[in-house]
Amino acid sequence: MYPRQDDRTGFYGFWDRDGWAVHPQFGYAHRFVSGYAAVDLVDGRSGLIRSDGRILLLDEICGGKAPIQDEHCSFTGFGGGYQSLSPRYAVVRTKNGAQHKWGLIDSQLNYRPLTHNAFTTAAAVKACTEHVVIFHASGRGSESVCGLFNLKDGRLDLPIEFSCIYPSNEQIWVVSRTVGESPASQQYYFYDVSKREFLPGSFSFALPFSCGLGAVRAGEWNSSGRSYFVDKDLRPAFNAEFDEVGPFSYDLAAVYNNGDAGYIDTTGEMRLLLPYVDLQAFNELGLAIANRDSEEWDIDIIDREGQPRLSELETAVFWEGDFPYFEITKYGEEHLYDLNLLELF
C-alpha cells in the first residue's frame, strides 16, 4: 500500500492496485515500514496504522505521554531515520507538563524512554540499528553538533562534539569534525562501531563502508584532489582514482572522471560508461536514477545494463520500505511506480 493524497478532499489515505485500501482520512500519511505507517489525524493527534487499517494512537503506545507535533518535530514512524538502514525503532518526542522527553518505539510497539542526560537538551534524534545519533544546537546559528549513543549498553560512545555522523549497515561508519573557524572546513574519520574505536588517519571527505569498501578523498575539492576506495585497513582497494565517487550498492558504485560518468564493480573495473552527469545507487531490483542535465533535470531510471526503463522525467525519488516505489514527475504530473516499474497511479 502506498500513501496518496486525494485530489478532491486533500486528505491522505493508502492506495493499492485495486484503489483505496484505506480511504482518505488523514492530514498526512507516511510510507509503510516494519509493518506500520505513521499518520497524522485531522484532530492533531498522531498514530501508526497497520495494513489492515487499524489505527494505534501514539499517546497510548507511549503510556499516556502526549507526542509533540509542530514544525520542528513530527512523528514519521519507522521510515523517519536513515533510509538505507534496517529500521528497528521509530523516534518519538513526548511532553508531560513542561517536561519534554525523547523515546523509541520498537516493531512490537514497545515504548522505551531515552533517559540519559545527553537527550535532555537534544534538538533531534535519529535511530540507526542499535545506535542513536543525538543532535544538539551548537549555538552558532543553524549549525548543530552530534554524538553517538549505544542502545545496547546505554552509554554515549561518541561525545556530542562532531559535525555529522554517517551510519552504515556495516560496522565502519564515518564521522566528521569542523576544523578551524569555518564550518565548511571538515575532516572525516572512519569509526568502527563494533570496536568503538577510530581507524587511523583523516581525510578531506569519506563515505561509510558498503560492500566491504569505503570511499575517501585526498586533497582539496578541485582538480588536484582525488577520490578512491579503501579496504578495512584503509589501503587502496584497487589501483584507480577518480574526480568523484558514490558509495557501493549491490556491488556497483558511481564514479566520475574527466567529464565521464559510469559504474565500477568491487574490483575497480568499469562496468558501465554512461551519458549522465549524476548517477545514484542501484536498488535491490537493479534499478538506479540517472540524470543527464543537472540544470534542466532530464532524468532516466536505468537497469544494470545501463538501459533506460523510464525516460524524460523531471524528478525521481526512490523510497524504501515495505512497499518500495519510485515517486516521479513527468510533464508536470506526479506518478508512483513499483519496483517492476508498473504504474500505481
Give pLDDT tens digits for 21-65.
Answer: 999 999 999 999 999 999 999 998 999 999 999 999 999 999 888
How many Å separate Cα 72 from the centre of its chain? Answer: 18
Q: Tell me the three state secondary structure of residue 58.
A: helix
Q: What is the DSSP letter of 290?
A: E
pLDDT confidence band for 225 (50 / 70 / 90): confident
pLDDT at 129 over 90: no
> β-pairing, 124-128 with 131-137?
antiparallel
Task: Give me the pLDDT at residue 88, please.
Answer: 87
Residue whose grid cell is 529500521: 87
Can you say whether residue 212 is alpha, beta or left, with left for phi > 0 and alpha for psi between -120 and 50 degrees?
Answer: left
Alpha helix positions (H), the chain = 58-61
* Cα 29 from Cα 47, distance rounded (Å): 10
Which residue from 31, 11, 35, 42 is spatially nearest to 344, judged by alpha carbons?
31
Residues 107-113 have a mean pLDDT of 94
Query: For residues 326 and 316, is the Cβ–Cβ distance under 8 A?
Result: yes
Retrieve residue 173's grid coordinates. Answer: 561508519
297 located within any domain: no
Average pLDDT over residues 274-285: 95
Q: Is the pLDDT of residue 154 over 60?
A: yes
- pLDDT for 343 equals 94
CA-based nearest residue to 325, from 309, 338, 344, 311 = 338
Query: 222 in a domain, yes or no?
Result: no
Within-domain flag for 307: no
Q: Give pLDDT, residue 72.
A: 62
Residue 35 placed within a domain: yes
Average pLDDT over residues 251-264: 96
Q: Would 136 be classed as within a structural domain?
A: no
Measured CA to CA, the distance from residue 162 to residue 181 in angstroms comes to 14
Least confident stretch, 70-84, 113-127, 299-313: 70-84
| Mean pLDDT score, 90-109 | 88
| pLDDT at residue 141, rounded to an integer | 58
- Statement: residue 248 has pLDDT above 80: yes
Within-domain flag for 128: no
pLDDT at 95: 81
Burial of 263 (0-12, 13-18, 19+ CB in 10 A): buried
- Does residue 154 lie within any of the structural domains? no
Query: d(Cα 206, Cα 188) in Å, to the nearest integer?
Result: 6
Task: For the chain, give the percent of residues with pLDDT over 70.
Answer: 93
Inform me whether the pLDDT recorded for 264 exceeds 90: yes
* CA dist 190 → 219, 221, 243, 248 (Å): 17, 20, 21, 16
Residue 68: per-residue pLDDT: 77
Rounded to the nearest integer, the mean pLDDT of the chain is 91
Q: What is the pLDDT of residues 178-223, one digit of tens each?
A: 876 655 578 999 999 999 999 999 999 999 999 999 999 988 776 6
The tally of domains found in the chain comes to 1
Q: Quote the domain boundaries for residue 98.
A: 1-113
